[in-house]
Chain A
Amino acid sequence: MSAIRTATRLYVLQRLTAAIMGPLIIVHIALIFYATHDGLTATEILERTRGSTIWFGFYQLFVISAAVHGAIGLRSVTNDWITDRPAALNAIMWGTGLLLLILGTRAVIAVIAPGAA
């Protein structure tokens, strides 16, 4: 894989996921304020999310974007402040991305799938 295209591809993905998450975060923050304004309970959260296709779409998109964005971001920070060895950089990038993707998708399933009482 060309190093030139890789560097550009990482840049494009970073900016693209940032642009995608912009509106998602605004909704998320607004939701946080709305949900917490009279105390936050699990019932309230799950009532909204359980079985909802829209919230599934919203949160899964958020998870995928955050996983990609966070992975590439940490790669940059590591390159600047810790090491510039490509093996280490790629390990951190893939490790972060997969961790966030797996835990995130699990969390989405947890709040969307109709579940235990």
Chain B
Amino acid sequence: MALSQTGHRRNALWTAALIHRVSGVLLALFLPLHFLVLGLALEGEAALGSFLKWTENPLVKFAEAGLVFLLAVHLLGGIRVLVLENLVWRDAYKSAATVAIAISFGVGALFLFQVI
């Protein structure tokens, strides 16, 4: 039987830190693909163009919105860390973390709304 010792994770800042980490990993995995797609331009405009046609598929749009969300949330989480480590401590940082995640959802949703 295992000891149950993970109750400490039920707090907003821990969740924010985990989302920050997971979004970073996913972005790192996505980036080579992004670079490969852009690299299609080496074969000429048509090569890139036909790939972009494929991305008009709604499922792809949904995935892209997800990526925009990941980027926004990783950026905001990173700003939290930079502020926390370099500026004077404020207790308001706790709620700022929740606000940051909400803003990121907003940015991702806005993107989806625009491209669908």
Contact = CB atoms under 8 A, between A and B. Distances in A.
Nearest to B40: A110
A88 interface: no
B28 A73 contact: yes
Interface string B38-74: 1111111110110010010000000000001001100
Contacts of B35: 100, 103-104, 106-107
B39 A15 contact: no
Given A43-B49, A70-B31, A117 B44 contact: yes
A116 B44 contact: yes
A99 B30 CA distance: 12
A117 B82 CA distance: 44
Contacts of B25: 73-74, 77
Interface residues of B, number: 37
Contact of A74 (B28, B42, B46, B81): B28
A22 interface: yes
Given A42-B48, A100-B32, A104-B35, 19 more contacts: A15-B85, A19-B82, A22-B75, A25-B71, A25-B75, A26-B75, A29-B72, A29-B107, A36-B115, A41-B52, A42-B41, A70-B24, A77-B25, A96-B28, A103-B31, A103-B36, A107-B38, A109-B42, A117-B44
